[in-house]
Structure 1
C-alpha cells in the first residue's frame, strides 16, 4: 500500500504528537504504512487543502483544518461526512466526552465534517510573578491609584502594559500577533468589537461592521499597536506562534492569545516563565461583558482519499483520551473534558481546568462560505489603520461597502 499523506498545521507540538501517535497506531493495529506528514503555515494549509482542491483530488488523506474554514470545505465537498463511520464505530465516549462548544461548528447540513483536535479559546495570559510582586504592587498603586490586578477594562490594560514596559530589561507591556495572515489581527479586532458591545451580524443575520463599536475597536487597536511605550516592537512581524514564543521567553507581561500559548509556557524547554503564568478573562469596556473567541482545529478526511477507512481509524485513535492527553503534554491543547480535569495535567498547568469557564463565554465567527473573504478584507482594513492616518470611520465604512459587494 502507498503512504498516507497528512497536512499538519506547522507547530512543533503538533508535529511531534502526530508522529508519536502514528507510530503508536501502527504498533497497536499491527500495520506497516508510512505517513508523510507535511507541516504548513496557515495560508499554505488553506491553499493546499481547499483552494487548490488537495483534499478533493486525493493529494491529502487527512488535514488539520480550523473551524473558520470547515463551512467552506464542507460546501466545496472537500471533506468527508464522518456520520456513517461514527455510526459504525464511534470514538470513545462520543459525544459526551467533549464540551458542546467543540462539536457544533463541524455539524453542517446534518453531517459531521471533523473530530476536535486542538483547542484553547482566546484569553488574557499574564505574568503572575510580576502581578503578585509586592514592590511592583506598591509602585503601581502609587502611580495609578488602584491595586495592581489582571486588567478588567481596556483602559487598565493600556495602563498596566505601560507600567511593565521596560525595554532595557527586554520586557514589554504587551504583545500582539499583527502579521497580516487573515486570522490573528481579525480575531483581536472581533474580540475588541464584542467587548465594546458590538456584533458582527445585523438583525437580518448579515455581516455588518459599520457601527460605532467597530470604529472604537479599530481606534483602540491602532493606538495601542503603534504605542512604543507598551507593545513588543516585533508585534508587526509576529503570528500567534511567534507572539506566544516571545511571551514564553519572558519578554512580555501580558498577551491576548490562544489558551494553548499559556499552557505551552509550562511544558516547552525554551520557556523561561514556568510556574509564573496565569490566565484571566479578556478586558472589556465599562457596561459591557467580557468575551472569548472559540476557533478550534479539526482532524478532517479528504473526499478524494483512497484510504478513508484507515484515515478514520487513525483520527479515532488520535482523539482517544490517552492521545488527547499526550497532545497536551507535548504542548498542544487537548479537547476532551477528561484532559481539562486531569489531576496530572493540572499539576503541571495549574489553570488548565479554567478551559471550561472560557468556553462558557466563547463566541464564534459567522458560519458562511464568504467568511474567509470577509476576514481578508478586515485584515486589510486593520493593516491600513496601523500604517496610515486614514480615520477609522472611513476605513470601517469602506470595508463594509466591499463586504456588501461580496454578499
Structure 2
C-alpha cells in the first residue's frame, strides 16, 4: 500500500501536531492515503534525508529540514523549488503573513525551497519568580552590590548563575546543551562571538574564526561550562531538548536556548514552572550589543517524491494561521505574525509577542554548502576545549587551518 513518508524532527510537540494536522487534512479533503511519520534525532535526520539522498530517491516525500542544511539540500537538488506551485496556489496570506527573517534563508538562486514550520530564536530564558523574590534580591545585593536583574553582561551571567546554584535543592544556576551534535555548542560559540562584537567572516566574506573575539568566546565558554558552582551537572549529555526539559522541570534558574523551550514551559504537562518564566535578550560584552541567532525549521518536499502535489497541498494546509496556532498550543513555535500577536496565545504564554523583538537582532549562520562540515570542526574544537587544558588560542588557530582546507 502506498504511503506518504514524512521525516520528522523528533520532539513530542512536532509529532503530535503533525499527526493532528494530517488527520484533519484527510477528513477535509477525503484522502485515504496513509502518512508514515518517522521521528528522527538531528544527526539521523540529516543523514537520512541528505547524506543518504533519501529526498532524491523518493524515500521521503516531506522532511523537516532546518535552515543550516537548506543551502546544502538545494545545491544537491534534494528539495523541490516551490515557486511554480506557489505561483499556482499560494499558501494563505503568503508572504505577508510571515516576518521577513523567516522567508530569507530558503530563498536560494531565485528558488523557494521550503515553507516556515517552527521557529524561535535563541534567547535568555529565566525564572522570573526567583528574580522577583524580595529575599533573593536582598541577599544578592548585599553579596554583589548591585540589583538582581536578568544579566546584561556575561560577567553578571556567571555571578547570577553561581548565586542561584543550589545542588542540595536540585536547582542549578544555568544549563547548557553541550552534547556534541554539531549544533548547540556551535550556536552558543557563535553567540559568544557576536555579543563580543566579532564575526565568523573576514573582510573577504570567508569563514575565519582565528581572531581575538573567538578566542575570548571559547575562553568564556570553557570556563562557565566547567564551573560546577554554576552549571547543571548533566549539561555535557544534554541536547537542546533535554536542556529545555531540565528547565521546565524547575531544575535551572537561567538557560540560553531557543525561544520554543520557554513557551513549552507554559503548555506541557510535565512543566513545574508554569507562570514563572520570562525571556529577554542575551547578555553581551560591556562595550557591545546583544545578538540572537535565527535558525528555523522548514517543511520541504523531496525532488524524488511521487506525491509532490499531495505533499504541497498538505504543506499549504499545515501552514495556515489555524495550523500555526495549533503547533504553538502543542508546544512548538508558530511562525506567523498572527500567532505571535494572538491574544489567546499571549494569555497562555505572556512573553509570546517578544518574538518580534528577538527577530530584530537575530543573525544567521554563513550560507555556504560547507557549513555543516565547518560546524562539525567547531564542535570538535569546543569539546576539546571543555575536556583539556590546551590554550583556546591554539585550538582556534588549529581549527581555522582545518577549516581553510575544506574551503
Asked if TM exceeds 0.5, the reply is yes
Q: Following superposition of structure 1 onto structure 2, how do residues 84-233 of structure 1 map, counting pairs within 5 Å?
A: 84-233=84-233
Question: Counterpart of 2:255 in 1: which secondary structure?
Answer: strand
* Distance of 2:159 and 2:196 partners within structure 1: 18
1:70 corresponds to which residue? Answer: 70
**Equivalent residue, structure 2, for 1:251:** 251
Q: TM-score, normalised by structure 2?
A: 1.00
Deviations 1:154-184 (A, max 9, x none): 0000000000000000000000000000000
2:16 matched residue in structure 1: 16
Secondary structure of the structure 2 residue equivalent to 1:44: helix
2-structure distance, mates of 1:318, 1:354: 24
Separation of aligned partners in 1, 2:213 and 2:54: 39
User: Alpha-carbon deviation of 1:400?
Assistant: 0.3
- Within 2, Cα distance between the matches of 1:107 and 1:142? 53
Shift of the alpha carbon at 1:33?
1.2
Q: Deviations over 1:377-396 (max 9, x none)?
A: 00000000000000000000
Please, what TM-score do these two structures have when normalized by structure 1? 1.00
Unaligned runs of 5+ in 2: none
Tell me the equivalent position of 1:55: 55
- Tell me the secondary structure at the aligned position of residue 125 of structure 1: strand
Correspondence for 1:273: 273
Q: Once the 2 structures are TM-superposed, how far is the Cα of residue 197 of structure 1 from its aligned partner?
A: 1.1
SS in 2 for 1:123: strand
**What is the alpha-carbon distance in structure 2 between the residues aligned to residue 174 and residue 287 of structure 1?**
24
Q: What is the match of residue 371 of structure 1? A: 371
> Over residues 289-321 of structure 1, what are the superposed CA-to-partner deviations in whole Å (9 max), with x where a residue is unaligned?
000000000000000000000000001100000
- Give secondary structure in 2 for the equivalent of 1:4: strand
Q: Any runs of at least 4 consecutive aligned residues in structure 1 with deviations exceeding 2 A, and if so which?
A: none
Match of 1:401 in 2: 401
Give the number of aligned pairs. Answer: 407
Query: In the aligned structure 2, how far is the partner of 1:225 from the partner of 1:245?
Result: 18
**Cα RMSD for the two superposed structures:** 0.4
